[in-house]
Amino acid sequence: MKSIVSKLGHQNHKRIALLVAAAFAASAISFAGSSAVSSAAAQSAAQTAAQAATENISSARNTPAVRAAKMVGPAVVGITNKAVARDWFDNPVETEGVGSGVIFKSDGYIVTNNHVINGAKELIVSLSDGRTMRGKVIGADEVTDLAVVKIDAKDLPTAEFADSDQIVVGEPAIAIGNPMGLEFKGSVTSGVVSALNRTLDNSDSRVKLLQTDAAINPGNSGGALVNADGEVIGINSVKLAASGVEGMGFAIPSNTVQSVIKELMDKGYVARPYLGVSVFDPETAARFGYSLDIDKGVYIFKLVLGGPSDKAGLQRGDIILKADGEEVNSVSDLRAKVSAHKVGDTITLTIDRNDHERTVDVTLDEMPQDKKR
């Protein structure tokens, strides 16, 4: 069975026949944490409106999905990405894709996926009340696949974010977004939280994702995954597409979203720590045609001159066995250990050099913006 992990992304529409629209960027994902907040007044107004809208229906009909739709639905927007791609003859071709977003501040700040806005020449934001406005990218992060967009508006309805550390498997999960484009804007589907802390094997992901069986489709990217209390628990991002597979969607947890939002608004990018080394484990070495004869740890094959590891005295050929006392047996293990730290932290590495173990403390610098790891 051949499986594909696809971005829920936007629904792409080709403007010129016989030309293939460019795919919007897929992204690797990574850890981050923090907090964005909605306007208390706007949130209170949304809750009041939701309560009023559901007062006249029976308790049997007033389900979590109904309450979520009333509370969060007005804060979910459509985002149209107008971009320029190249056809088979390298001629410029206008393309258009539609995704979703969630308003988190009443003065026009919206969180969405990076792949929804990536490469945009122009962004058009469609509000739930029918208005459309131009959007401006405040910041984007390819690693977590998140971005913040700003529109010139005030007193907008906002969504409240839950503490995703408190999510339990089996609780209701409601997806709100624009599947297949604006023709179906504000669509609501429901399911449960199927699993926590998922990673996708064919991505370079360092983010733990929520898994849900709520139906999500192209165009849902950047939309809200909501709990029974009407709080956003995640931003929908990808789904597993395979023959015979149904109901496997994934969302970026709200705590990660809030953390990234804060940094994007403060700096326009997410500051991450890095070691300044390139490493192989046997599996990754094999992908590049090398045979690596080690039974544990990861092998350093390159260091950044003047980088953190270089300054700490690490050398090419060293084998990193442990980080902060815990075993490291793969590239992803090492990335996870580094990602758990902040810029300026010290990480303690146990290395093997010429069959002798030693411990080295490395002070983590901020990853240069032109590097991916």
C-alpha dihedral (217, 219, 225, 226), degrees to nearest 10:
-110
Asked about 145 being catalytic, the answer comes back as: yes
Q: How many residues does the chain have?
A: 373
Mean pLDDT, the chain, whole residue set: 84
Per-residue confidence band for 19, with pLDDT thresholds at 50, 70 and 90 = very low
- Candidates 321, 194, 171, 199; CA nearest to 246 is 194
Residue with tokens 């050929």: 317
**370 Cβ partners below 8 Å, 6+ apart?**
none
pLDDT of residue 86 exceeding 90, the answer is no
Per-residue confidence band for 50, with pLDDT thresholds at 50, 70 and 90 = low
pLDDT of residue 168 exceeding 50, the answer is yes
- Candidates 312, 311, 318, 302; CA nearest to 352 is 318
pLDDT of residue 111 exceeding 60, the answer is yes
**154 Cβ partners below 8 Å, 6+ apart?**
106, 107, 108
pLDDT of residue 31 exceeding 50, the answer is no
Residue 278 is encoded by which pair of tokens?
């390139």
Q: Could you tell me if 129 and 153 are in contact, meaning their C-beta atoms sit under 8 angstroms apart? A: no
Per-residue confidence band for 207, with pLDDT thresholds at 50, 70 and 90 = confident
pLDDT tens digit string along 323-373?
999 999 999 899 889 988 999 999 999 999 999 999 999 999 999 876 544
Residue 6 is encoded by which pair of tokens?
């696809």
pLDDT of residue 371: 56
Higher pLDDT, 181 or 162: 162
Q: Could you tell me if 297 and 328 are in contact, meaning their C-beta atoms sit under 8 angstroms apart? A: yes
How far, rounded to the nearest angstrom, does the alpha carbon of residue 204 sit from its chain's CA centroid?
A: 12
Residue 342 is encoded by which pair of tokens?
């902040």
Write down the catalytic residue from 10, 38, 106, 145.
145
CA 255 → CA 287, 312, 320, distances in Å? 34, 33, 31
Asked about 155 being catalytic, the answer comes back as: no
**125 Cβ partners below 8 Å, 6+ apart?**
77, 78, 79, 80, 101, 110, 132, 133, 134, 135, 149, 151
Higher pLDDT, 3 or 339: 339
Count of alpha carbons within 13 Å of 131, Cβ hemisphere only? Answer: 12
pLDDT of residue 2: 42
% of the chain exceeding 70 in pLDDT: 82
pLDDT of residue 47 exceeding 90, the answer is no
Q: Could you tell me if 285 and 291 are in contact, meaning their C-beta atoms sit under 8 angstroms apart? A: yes
Mean predicted confidence (pLDDT) in 289-317: 94
Residue 290 is encoded by which pair of tokens?
């090398």
Least confident of 30-34, 39-43, 125-129, 367-371: 30-34
**CB atoms closer than 10 angstroms to residue 369:** 10
pLDDT of residue 24 exceeding 60, the answer is no
pLDDT of residue 93: 84
282, amino acid identity:
P
Asked about 221 being catalytic, the answer comes back as: yes
Q: Which helix (H) or strand (E) holds 227?
A: none
Per-residue confidence band for 53, with pLDDT thresholds at 50, 70 and 90 = low
Q: Which helix (H) or strand (E) holds 282?
A: helix 282-287
Write down the catalytic residue from 27, 30, 100, 115.
115
pLDDT tens digit string along 227-284?
999 999 999 998 877 667 778 899 999 999 999 999 999 999 999 999 999 999 999 8
Phi, psi of 15 (to 5 degrees): -90, -25
% of the chain exceeding 90 in pLDDT: 64
Least confident of 45-59, 97-111, 113-127, 290-304: 45-59
- Candidates 117, 142, 146, 141; CA nearest to 28 is 142
Write down the catalytic residue from 27, 38, 190, 221.
221
Domains defined along the chain, listed by start: 3-267 (2.40.10.120), 273-366 (2.30.42.10)
Greatest mean pLDDT range, 22-36, 81-95, 307-321? 307-321
Can you list the alpha helix ranges (DSSP code H) found in 60-193? 64-72, 114-117
Count of alpha carbons within 13 Å of 303, Cβ hemisphere only? Answer: 17
pTM listed for this prediction: 0.76
pLDDT of residue 114 exceeding 90, the answer is yes
pLDDT tens digit string along 135-152?
999 999 998 999 999 999
pLDDT of residue 48: 54
pLDDT of residue 3: 43
Residue 189 is encoded by which pair of tokens?
């589907």
CA 219 → CA 184, 194, 258, 333, distances in Å? 9, 21, 22, 33
pLDDT of residue 49: 54
